[in-house]
């Protein structure tokens, strides 16, 4: 019996592009907006984080300078729908003050002239900003080929067999990044999120409907399990 071909990140991208349609990068906004949106998205869903971001913009029509200079209690009240408001409000103001010290205003445009490693170091110097948040800013807002690993990317990558069972989300950034060419970083992230939401559910994965099932370690293992016959 011929051996099954092993999955690779390039194969995953090409297979999911064929299944879902290819994706191409477009800017998700400037780095400061992206960083603040990502901070607001931590430990909540997209709907609540987007509402919190919009609430804050409405509450402070003077822009990020007004958020920076406001009493922290006012910022907390504005972003309350995003959850962990006290923690996130302090972090947002820290970012805005740091940006002002560096550039003279609430602007992270200076990051464009920095190397990717230096941008990562700068962003991760803020409390609560780790590899995923910095990667989101770099990839979505700056077009840099740095992979963010969220719960969907981690779960699907692990099930397929691209990362080991003991590799957590933090370690997965480096492991998966080393397997990807620059051009595949953005589509890999987007397509695995699509697959994770539509097919590769955390509790009830639909392996029979998955375009990756022929090489997926999890799907192959599931297919070998004996079926239980019900007595009539």
Give per-residue pLDDT as tens, 109-154.
999 999 999 999 999 999 889 999 999 999 999 999 999 999 999 9
Task: Name the active-site residue from 6, 88, 90, 132.
Answer: 132
Give per-residue pLDDT as tens, 196-232.
999 999 999 999 999 999 999 999 999 888 765 556 5
**pTM given for the model:** 0.89
Give how far Cα 170 sits from Cα of 133, 147, 167, Å: 11, 11, 8
Per the structure block, which two tokens stand in for 186? 């953005």
Does residue 127 have an active-site annotation? no
Domain extents in the chain: 9-23+148-221, 31-142
CATH number, domain 9-23+148-221, options 1.20.1730.10, 1.10.357.10, 3.50.50.60, 1.10.1670.10: 1.10.1670.10
How far is it, in rounded angstroms, from Cα 159 to Cα 175? 15
Contact partners, residue 216, CB within 8 Å, separation at least 6: 7, 159, 160, 161, 207, 210
- Alpha carbons within 13 angstroms on the beta-carbon side of residue 203 total 0
| Domain at 31-142: CATH architecture | Orthogonal Bundle (1.10)
Give per-residue pLDDT as tens, 99-120.
999 999 999 999 999 999 999 9
């Amino acid at each position: 019996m011929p051996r099954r071909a092993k999955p690779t990140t390039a194969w995953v991208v090409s297979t999911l592009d064929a299944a879902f349609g290819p994706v191409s990068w477009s800017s998700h906004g400037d780095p400061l907006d992206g960083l603040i949106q990502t901070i607001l998205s931590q430990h909540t869903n997209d709907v609540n984080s987007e509402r919190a971001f919009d609430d804050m913009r409405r509450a402070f029509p003077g822009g990020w300078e007004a958020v920076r200079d406001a009493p922290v209690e006012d910022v907390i009240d504005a972003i309350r729908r995003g959850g962990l408001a006290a923690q996130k409000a302090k972090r947002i103001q820290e970012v805005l003050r740091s940006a002002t010290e560096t550039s003279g205003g609430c602007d992270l445009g200076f990051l464009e002239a920095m190397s990717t490693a230096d941008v990562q170091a700068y962003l991760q110097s803020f409390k609560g900003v780790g590899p995923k948040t910095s990667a989101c800013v770099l990839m979505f807002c700056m077009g840099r080929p740095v992979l963010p690993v969220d719960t969907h990317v981690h779960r699907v990558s692990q099930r397929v067999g691209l990362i080991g069972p003991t590799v957590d989300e933090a370690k997965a950034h480096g492991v998966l990044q080393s397997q990807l060419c620059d051009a595949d970083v953005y589509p890999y992230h987007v397509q695995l999120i699509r697959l994770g939401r539509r097919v590769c559910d955390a509790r009830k994965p639909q392996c029979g409907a998955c375009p990756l099932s022929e090489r997926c370690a999890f799907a192959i293992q599931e297919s070998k399990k004996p079926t239980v016959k019900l007595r009539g």
